[in-house]
Structure 1
């Protein structure tokens, strides 16, 4: 910690992060990102004001200070999306300080966030997804091909995040009909496991040189440790190159495909939200590419008075 932040401010930052983790169910990754966001802001402010930043001093904050921080971050090469998240974290902390310390921070809080276009991986068509699975299964080392096929089948067939699939342990096998997944923010959800996914995992375990052990990761890397996302992304990269698919065809795109294929088949957004583990329905709406016109069309077609 530099001398650009008063001890009371550092303590307040720790308290806010504890509050976010406890009351808003933030993940460890999110808390780490928030800490980095606020340290960047408070250290900038200390240098900008040429004095350590104390909680009471934050009452001096004006839009010009917030804009100066945003300009400084852009100058350091921070992208629009990262900057928007950073400014959102700063405003959340300032609102908390305002409520806790009784400091009027309305001027700073009225600063608008930078706009950015949220990019999401484009879904693969069902045929592209199947071709991708067939291609990774053809690895020169049979057990590796079976492993990659099993992992990607879980992403496409159950909508798992790659981190969730790779976090599975030997104790999770054999899969129940509904697999309990602990996702972002430690939120638990139940996801269905298709018979084809069970078969894929079973075949992988039969070929895996380490077999199945309840005290070990379910998916193993080449040396027996837990399989990494980089290895799965590498397999997907080779497959898309051979199939001529765009760079957007990533492991996460298979989860995206899970959602869009369910929606195309008549699945409702609320159910898809539960299956994906999204905290907000609006996230699912954006994630699946649903626009307001589509929502209104579904409403008019389904409502009894439509």
Structure 2
């Protein structure tokens, strides 16, 4: 694949990814995805144009070329949602390259991604969410594993953490205080209040775990059966078992617990901007879509957060 990319652009792509990792604290997963997305775009251009374009040649890309790329992606089965993500990566790279080399890449930057309907997990009812937290550890083959699954579920529903954020906690976060410093997407940090129930659940797991977690400041708190980092698929499997037992729909996933956290706070009259900070969203619009509450209630909360002068 790299042979079809102009050497100067391949070097530029490497420099861009290195910058994202060093300055923007992008995760390894994000860097791999960006690398694939941009590389595929450049390989397409090499085939489409009959030769691998260099950085300067990107300024000659036409709207027809960009439409051809989008059509090519859709023809090979790429969903509208994935294509929008891939185009976003291409634009980010083009924006950086334009600033670095003084290029006019307006055509690439103005390309429009296909519209797609954002699908979000449905929130559980408060009773169902509490039942999940109470029962998720009851089918485990060992007490410490049951305590582990309960602790993770409480962090998702009680603190609104992403599964990656919960599993990213390390011994450095112990002993637990009244809040957690969470490093979220893009390396952005936020402070999340830690409910007493969440602190107690984590402390019980740490006490039962067969490893001295509190003594290992660099290792993750949550471990698998063999002592390695807990795989998020195991959390999803535990969630699947408990939802079958409770008769809940397939939408009752670990991420749905975080979604329920936000939705229930909003329904109780929580401030939209405060919830935005708790979730770690960069923009208020993301929180509006994510919580998926009815329009009338959302506007009421929004107007309280932004009173007219």
TM-score normalised over the length of structure 1? 0.91
Label 1:200 to 1:101 Cα distance change in 2 as closer, same or farther (>3 A): closer
1:36-76 CA-to-partner distances (Å, cap 9, x unmatched) read: 11100001110111212111111221122112111221222
Q: Is there any run of 5+ residues in structure 2 with no aligned partner, and where?
A: none
CA distance in 2, matches of 1:289, 1:268: 15
CA distance in 1, matches of 2:223, 2:306: 49
CA distance in 1, matches of 2:75, 2:114: 14
Corresponding residue SS for 1:278: coil
Structure 2 residue 33 is the aligned partner of structure 1 residue 33: yes
1:265 Cα deviation after fit = 1.3
Asked if 1 retains the 8 angstrom alpha-carbon contact of 2:123 and 2:257, the reply is: yes
Structure 2 residue 226 is the aligned partner of structure 1 residue 223: yes
The corresponding residue for 1:175 is 176
Relative to structure 2, which stretch is displaced further, 96-105 or 107-116?
Answer: 96-105
Label 1:205 to 1:106 Cα distance change in 2 as closer, same or farther (>3 A): closer
CA distance in 2, matches of 1:248, 1:78: 23
Number of residue-to-residue matches in the alignment:
306
CA distance in 2, matches of 1:78, 1:302: 39
Asked if 1 retains the 8 angstrom alpha-carbon contact of 2:2 and 2:10, the reply is: no
1:19 Cα deviation after fit = 4.5
Corresponding residue SS for 1:128: helix
The corresponding residue for 1:266 is 269
1:16 Cα deviation after fit = 3.2
Corresponding residue SS for 1:213: helix
Structure 2 residue 287 is the aligned partner of structure 1 residue 284: yes
Asked if 1 retains the 8 angstrom alpha-carbon contact of 2:175 and 2:214, the reply is: no
1:238-277 CA-to-partner distances (Å, cap 9, x unmatched) read: 1111111111111111111111111111111111111111
The corresponding residue for 1:65 is 65
TM-score normalised over the length of structure 2? 0.90
Corresponding residue SS for 1:168: coil
1:205 Cα deviation after fit = 2.6
1:127-146 correspondence runs (5 A): 127-139=127-139, 140-146=141-147
Q: Is there any run of 5+ residues in structure 1 with no aligned partner, and where?
A: none
1:3 Cα deviation after fit = 2.8
1:245 to 229, 244, 248: 248
Q: Please tell me the root mean square deviation across aligned C-alpha atoms, in Å.
A: 2.3
Label 1:170 to 1:105 Cα distance change in 2 as closer, same or farther (>3 A): closer
The corresponding residue for 2:239 is 236
CA distance in 1, matches of 2:192, 2:180: 5
1:149-160 correspondence runs (5 A): 149-160=150-161
Label 1:281 to 1:67 Cα distance change in 2 as closer, same or farther (>3 A): same
The corresponding residue for 1:207 is 208
Label 1:224 to 1:131 Cα distance change in 2 as closer, same or farther (>3 A): same
1:288 Cα deviation after fit = 1.0
Asked if 2 retains the 8 angstrom alpha-carbon contact of 1:6 and 1:54, the reply is: yes
Label 1:187 to 1:299 Cα distance change in 2 as closer, same or farther (>3 A): closer
CA distance in 2, matches of 1:49, 1:41: 12
The corresponding residue for 1:115 is 115
1:194-232 CA-to-partner distances (Å, cap 9, x unmatched) read: 111122122223322225432143222111222111111
Asked if 2 retains the 8 angstrom alpha-carbon contact of 1:159 and 1:255, the reply is: yes
